[in-house]
Amino acid sequence: MDAFAPYDRIIVTAGAAEIPKALLKQLKVGGIMVIPVGDENSQMMTAVLRLDEKKFEKTEYGDCQFVPMLERTVKKSGTNL
């Protein structure tokens, strides 16, 4: 989906152990991503606001439970936050 980036909003509907760097790169300055972060036993609904090209602000909203993100997706993208 890089071809259409940057995005104003990204909503992730699968739990990730960490926030994928590839998704952060696709977020527009001022954009928000919502993603469940954690393992299969404990995840936190997390919002990430892109403040500028290198700075992000992370806010956690509470426990949630989603199916896990596919392992090959996480390995390709790396992590940042």
| CA distance linking residue 78 with residue 29, whole number of Å | 20
Using 70 as the pLDDT threshold, list the residues of the chain that sit under it: 1, 71-81
pTM of the entire structure? 0.83
Query: Nearest 5 degrees, angle CA 79-CA 8-CA 17?
Result: 25
Q: What is the pLDDT of residue 42?
A: 94
**φ, ψ for residue 25 (rounded to 5)?**
-65, -30
In the chain, domain spans: 2-68
Q: Which two tokens stand for residue 19?
A: 């926030």
